[in-house]
Chains A and B, each alone.
Chain A
Amino acid sequence: MLRLSALALRRTLPAWLLLGFGALLLLAARGSAGPPLLEADESARACLRALARQNVWSVLLVLAPLLFLQAARLGTPAAKAWLAPAPARPAVLALVLALGCSLACLAVTTLAALVSEAALASTIATAPAWRRAGELESPPAVLLDTAPSLRWSAPRCAPGRRLRLWTTVAPGSGPAVTARFTARAGVRASVVEQRIAGRRALELEPPLAEDGALELELERIGSGALLVLPPHALELLEPVASERLTALALGTRAFLFLTTGCALALGLARRMRASLAAATVLALALLSWSTTGAGGFVPGGDFPRAWQELGAGLVPTPAPPWSLAGALVLAALGLALQAPPSMGKELPA
């Protein structure tokens, strides 16, 4: 059975695919190593490292359809005809083949994680990395000349957390304006002031509030464009131990997504052509990415959100626990499709 798993691993991830994947990973890692055009602050450097990580991980997403196709080819009746005399039950054979596919997915995910982190080995920041902890209420508004400030309350934050407020300027009202964001807790206050010329975030660490809520204020300083506070503008960030947790967060999602997709493709290939099985799995993945709420339980379904968080220079939140349960259910479905004896006319590979 171990040899059959190894065979499934080699068939799912043949040498040509592994070599091509490795070459593309190295090119993606090397392509993101240029010095910045302008001096960058820590937040901008975090965004650049995020871009380098995205470049490497995107190679894995490009590889996904090929992995599904290879797994599907493994599950066609023609490809498994030589296993018919084997004494093992079909369910066990399907499980062993799926295990080989899973090992291939683990190998490519680990390789992508290693290359992405190795490429950034010399540029990792000593400053803390941040993760999105949630969203706080903020009233959408436009700050006019007659009402240049806006106040609202927010629940107090745990020590070490930061507030990030997204602002922008009204189109056609001028090129830029100065904005000041203040968080008060009793007599203590934290303030940040910046020039806003487009979508831009104002970040501050709020003062510790022993009891009661935080008083927040956004002001438009001086003349200039109209300042806009869009909906869902206030985010709460929490520090994380290391930026390298990005590899874990993305790797978990990628592994669950690839493994589940391969198991489903393996199962579907018993009923349809391998290319159709791979395309069906890919279509289901795209559907889950575009469906609100699917990310909670479909493995890799919240990949776009994690990708967006990474693009903003944050460490993505860990994969939701329910996605593991979803992965097990979908993989079991793939095995169930693959396991029963074939009925009727078998399709060619």
Chain B
Amino acid sequence: MSAWSRSLAWAAVVALALASLAWPPPRASAPAPLLLLGPFAELCAEVQWLRFQAAQRRGEEARALELAESALALDPRASEGWQALAAHLVFDLASREREPDLARRRAAFQAGLAVLARGAERSARPQELELFRGLVLVAKAQHDPELDPRGAPALLRAAAEAFERAAELGDERAAELAAQVRAEAARDE
């Protein structure tokens, strides 16, 4: 290899090194505690989920919800966490057997849907959360349609929209479910 070609190769290496410094790969934006905890954030989130379960068992609902929120702040990419919190809100706290008061049930249900919406923005697998949202809405349309003032058809329409979003995001099962639920909503109307 001639001296010229060796120099050219070295120049290319230096140029690439400088380029990687000048244009670093994009970093996911994260709050300060997350950046500080770094690789331990997921482990800390797991600990917070354990504390969430313990607080739930002790009947400390407000504390449990706060711990779940902190777990999600530490590890927002895990869709299982968003699903766990949303399921607690919509199936436990907004259940007819547990909470006879409709206004409080609706508040818990809306909070659960809001959690799923936030999760769909931040999670690594938003299609799972959209699919879960659709399933929640179908279940509530069947068993507690009063949760929406417009009744079961409105819940089914919202479920169909959620399934369609899940299908757009790449979930193979969701398109079929969307068509089925839309037909069900049309029959109810």
Contact = CB atoms under 8 A, between A and B. Distances in A.
A48 B66 CA distance: 7
B99 interface: yes
Contact of B33 (A31, A199, A224): A31
- Chain B contact residues: helix, strand, loop or mixed: helix
Interface stretch (B15-23, B57-65, B158-166): B57-65
A48 B63 CA distance: 6
A200 interface: yes
Interface string B45-73: 00000000000111111110111011001
A45 B36 CA distance: 29
A162 to B, nearest CB: 17
A312 B55 CA distance: 10
Contacts of B93: 38
Interface in B68-89: 69-70, 73, 89
B98 A37 contact: no
A34 interface: yes
Contact of B69 (A34, A195, A224, A312): A34
A176 B63 contact: no
A195 B98 contact: yes
B66 A36 contact: yes
Interface string B94-134: 01011110000001100100010000000000000000000
B98 A27 contact: no
B32 interface: yes
A198 B69 contact: no
A286 interface: no
Interface in A174-194: 174-176
A166 B57 CA distance: 13
B59 A176 contact: no
A44 interface: yes
B102 to A, nearest CB: 13
Contacts of B115: 37
The secondary structure that dominates the A interface is loop
Given A38-B93, A38-B108, A176 B69 contact: no
A51 B63 contact: yes
Contact of B59 (A30, A34, A48, A201): A201
A175 B97 contact: yes
A37 B69 contact: yes
Contacts of A198: 56-57, 59
Nearest to B100: A195
Contacts of B70: 31-32
Interface in B11-45: 32-33, 36
Given A27-B36, A31-B33, A39-B107, A200 B59 contact: yes
B59 A199 contact: yes
B188 to A, nearest CB: 27
Contact of A44 (B56, B58, B62, B92): B62
Contacts of A176: 95, 97-98
Contact of B97 (A27, A30, A197, A312): A197
Nearest to A200: B59
A134 to B, nearest CB: 20
A175 B96 CA distance: 10
B119 to A, nearest CB: 13
Nearest to B57: A199
Nearest to B68: A37
Contacts of A332: none
Nearest to A41: B62
Given A31-B70, A37-B115, A47-B62, 7 more contacts: A30-B33, A37-B111, A48-B62, A175-B97, A195-B100, A201-B59, A311-B60
Interface of A: 27, 30-32, 34, 36-40, 44-45, 47-48, 50-51, 168, 174-176, 195, 197-201, 224, 311-312
7 contacts: A30-B33, A32-B70, A34-B69, A38-B89, A195-B100, A197-B97, A198-B57
